[in-house]
Structure 1
């Protein structure tokens, strides 16, 4: 959906949110969001699923009023969200016309103003100047050509007579994104714009966003896009005071700033706990002194001790009051992800695949050999057989030709792209059952830093997509595998967790096989061996 306010030039564009609060269904979604973005700023909004990223874009676009706070925008606004604004019978041309309505309107207004100026109508000069400024703000004359360029670069359908209902979800997304990139809006609000884009499309999107003269606010799990584009990061994940954080210095600045923020949070919380423990120890000591002096031995110093008792009672009361007055105001910080100490199995090849193929899915014979500590990244286009190969290596799928052998006692942990169907049991019940079946002494679910306490004890069917993915990873780790086989492991995970997971995978003693399209993960594992399918 697109909307616009005043058609200010891109250099005058700005978006400002002050103290924005939103509750949906009685649940706080956004609390105290402050954001200021001027022309040239590209703001990435990050956070776990359910933190209100898409809700914030709706508020900034003016589609959802804030319960508290204010939002101001200057410049025309183009919004790419997850809902298409037209129906199945409408055409690609209708969508282009809708997204270019502001540019078309500006040109029509300029034609009218030109005619009035020619006729010598009163006030025509001022009207013409205003109409010209509006057309120039959108660079309206070139809008259709810019859309055509983006349609081609994004590999989108350019047939304007094609019904939208005949297009796939990905094709519709690419057409709409091309329209927005070409419309000349001063402010772009983009929700997961990299969905359904190939490498060329990602390159074009990155180039256009970096060159955008106005304001860009984007929600994305694509860390490579954030690293390449963002100048500022708004982090909606929990903080020590419950308010969102804004980090300058691009995505690298966010990573470093959040690391420092987490360290301060942990230290402050630890200091407050230590002070509470000190007060509790002082109270216990005072109570012990009172008990020992309140009942003196018969016939020896009885009156002397009795006269000291009121002072001891007052000391106990003071310490009780001190302890009651001390509040641990800083909430406990989220537990960092902690990969268990996965076992090594030296002296033998853990897993070997020789000449494996799967009819129609993995047609070229593949050989793989993994020892403890080995790393492997499986790459290839969609349909090349990456997921199929990983399923074969994990023993989930039998090959049609070739064979897979696993050393005696070696456990293989497999993370597929899809979760098991949800059930009524809780996350901790499933995890504890997996640990019991493995016969291993794995760490408790809470110590992994993957799920918060509330999600740990909720039925799996009630978990968000992101929490389900975290549980999937926890269930894989419950068996303490010697080999980790991970298919698109970053799907639905926050950027912070992915960074922690990537670092842990690089240092574990287990063998690790990863298949991914995640561009930042591919960059971060640039030193790992590759198997191209």
Structure 2
């Protein structure tokens, strides 16, 4: 399907990868993984032809149809939902639109018009042999949660998350031979992610997908492409299969490295002791040759670094955590929450789920008192000290100050060592702690906010989409930290591995202001839902 030969990419002095040789086969689904900044998105853009590599070649099998997930959610504002999806097959879209125009405005007595209509019919038949493109599009839109009454609405009427769903439908509709998908689960709710998994598992062509959703990678992928050491290594199996194999390789490398380092130290000591001794000069020269042959660099450890996230409350909470009594909230004329009552008990670790736009972030902002309810009361326990990770975390991190100064401004009483330790746990080393916060990437800003939350020592965490912009290693570390945390959690997330890691209570917001409050893990909740469905 795709042959990659000696592919290299370098920006100025930064080399992303070099001499990549790879064959992507039909029927295989590849998960492209690597640390943030390793070059995953750049590699995918090179494969799709959007970016030119520094050197190397890419070749495709003849007549291969390529599908690339669009990233510009605002590119089709004046299109209807159906037309935006149809645009995924540009040749069919152009033919259909020209046909519609000629039938409406053309002179049907004109021989040239009729000749052109005949040509367009041939194109439509080639691209849509069953003449069912409109039925396929309607089914696809409904599967993604868009009712039939919305299909002729304009794209500009949708929220960002729903616009992304249309881009997803657009790339899936033509059933391309090769799919390149960069973070397809971003902005998707759990139901849509599950639908996408099933759709991709039945895709007959080749898929290369970048995702930080471990459950998604495990469900979809048959192979893993690991971008590390500026090389691309292929593993058979899903993400968990790769993780086991990669961990074993790292352990072996560490043992071999330790052995070689010890041998290097012994050789250096011998050379230092005897190089000046004439009777030992020949042995010293021999040892120096051995030392020169030791290739320590070839045994470098992985470029990935795992953050060490620890949430430790400064104080234990009392018998009351949080009580919501008949909360209602409107944005203008749109009611988001209606007479919502909940009692959160000490020890509750809640995953708050529901479709996009249902009111999860509004709920978080209400309990954090960024918004005020139209009616009802939010009552916190007297001993609660809360910490809040907002959905727009990247927007709250700004300014010219250093990372260290930014954190210090939140609590002047904190020891310098505590601040630097919190930054170090989120992989900000000595020099990095002094750079300006405005120079940070999205993922780095999220890690900085997590440093702040660790430093605060709250006993009740409210986290709204904390995994956005984080890599797999950071998400795994966050799940471990929430599991071990001796406090309360309310976390909005569409990452099932994260939810599985910590949640002992599931609250789902549904349409028509229905709220399902389930005591138990997410797996138990899914079993409960399935039992209801088939009972």
For residues 264 and 274 of structure 2, the distance between their equivalents in structure 1, rounded to whole angstroms, comes to: 15
Larger mean Cα displacement after TM superposition, 243-252 or 92-101: 92-101
CA apart distance, 1:364: 2.0
Q: Name the structure 2 match of 1:190.
A: 181
For residues 79 and 85 of structure 1, the distance between their equivalents in structure 2, rounded to whole angstroms, comes to: 16
Matching residue within 240, 243, 247 for 1:252: 240
CA apart distance, 1:245: 2.8
Q: Name the structure 2 match of 1:470.
A: 447
For residues 65 and 286 of structure 1, the distance between their equivalents in structure 2, rounded to whole angstroms, comes to: 55
CA apart distance, 1:433: 6.3
SS in 2 for 1:339: coil
**Aligned-CA RMSD value:** 4.2
Normalised TM-score (structure 1): 0.72
Q: Does 1:337 align with 2:311?
A: no
| CA 367–149 in structure 1, closer or farther in 2 if over 3 Å, else same | same
| CA 88–357 in structure 1, closer or farther in 2 if over 3 Å, else same | same
Alignment deviations for residues 109-161 of structure 1 (CA, whole Å, 9 cap, x no partner): xxxxxxxxxxxxxxxxxxxxxxx9x9789866544432221022113486776
CA apart distance, 1:171: 4.0
Alignment of 1:121-200 (within 5 A): 141-156=131-146, 162-200=153-191
Q: Decide whether the 8 Å contact of 1:505 with 1:512 is kept in 2.
A: no
Normalised TM-score (structure 2): 0.72
The unaligned stretches of length 5 or more in structure 2 are 97-121, 330-335, 509-514, 516-535
Matching residue within 402, 415, 431 for 2:389: 415
SS in 2 for 1:69: strand
For residues 153 and 358 of structure 2, the distance between their equivalents in structure 1, rounded to whole angstroms, comes to: 30
SS in 1 for 2:145: coil
For residues 313 and 47 of structure 2, the distance between their equivalents in structure 1, rounded to whole angstroms, comes to: 49
CA apart distance, 1:260: 2.8
For residues 515 and 428 of structure 1, the distance between their equivalents in structure 2, rounded to whole angstroms, comes to: 27
For residues 507 and 94 of structure 2, the distance between their equivalents in structure 1, rounded to whole angstroms, comes to: 53
Larger mean Cα displacement after TM superposition, 175-184 or 425-434: 425-434
| CA 145–86 in structure 1, closer or farther in 2 if over 3 Å, else same | same
Q: Decide whether the 8 Å contact of 1:379 with 1:386 is kept in 2.
A: yes
SS in 2 for 1:444: helix
Q: Name the structure 2 match of 1:426.
A: 402
Query: When the two structures are aligned, how many residues end up with a matched partner?
Result: 467
Q: Name the structure 2 match of 1:68.
A: 55
For residues 76 and 479 of structure 2, the distance between their equivalents in structure 1, rounded to whole angstroms, comes to: 42
For residues 259 and 361 of structure 2, the distance between their equivalents in structure 1, rounded to whole angstroms, comes to: 47
For residues 148 and 217 of structure 1, the distance between their equivalents in structure 2, rounded to whole angstroms, comes to: 26
For residues 282 and 88 of structure 1, the distance between their equivalents in structure 2, rounded to whole angstroms, comes to: 73
The unaligned stretches of length 5 or more in structure 1 are 1-13, 108-131, 291-308
Q: Name the structure 1 match of 2:501.
A: 525
For residues 354 and 368 of structure 1, the distance between their equivalents in structure 2, rounded to whole angstroms, comes to: 6
Q: Decide whether the 8 Å contact of 2:31 with 2:209 is kept in 1.
A: yes
Q: Decide whether the 8 Å contact of 1:103 with 1:183 is kept in 2.
A: no
Q: Name the structure 1 match of 2:66.
A: 77
SS in 2 for 1:437: coil
| CA 201–368 in structure 1, closer or farther in 2 if over 3 Å, else same | closer
Alignment deviations for residues 334-371 of structure 1 (CA, whole Å, 9 cap, x no partner): 4432234836856x638622346765176423322325
For residues 21 and 453 of structure 1, the distance between their equivalents in structure 2, rounded to whole angstroms, comes to: 31
Q: Name the structure 2 match of 1:211.
A: 202
For residues 351 and 207 of structure 2, the distance between their equivalents in structure 1, rounded to whole angstroms, comes to: 33
CA apart distance, 1:213: 0.9
CA apart distance, 1:513: 0.6
| CA 84–471 in structure 1, closer or farther in 2 if over 3 Å, else same | closer
Q: Name the structure 1 match of 2:106.
A: none
Larger mean Cα displacement after TM superposition, 268-277 or 220-229: 268-277
Q: Name the structure 2 match of 1:98.
A: 87
CA apart distance, 1:462: 0.8
CA apart distance, 1:32: 3.9
| CA 213–341 in structure 1, closer or farther in 2 if over 3 Å, else same | closer
Q: Name the structure 2 match of 1:128.
A: none
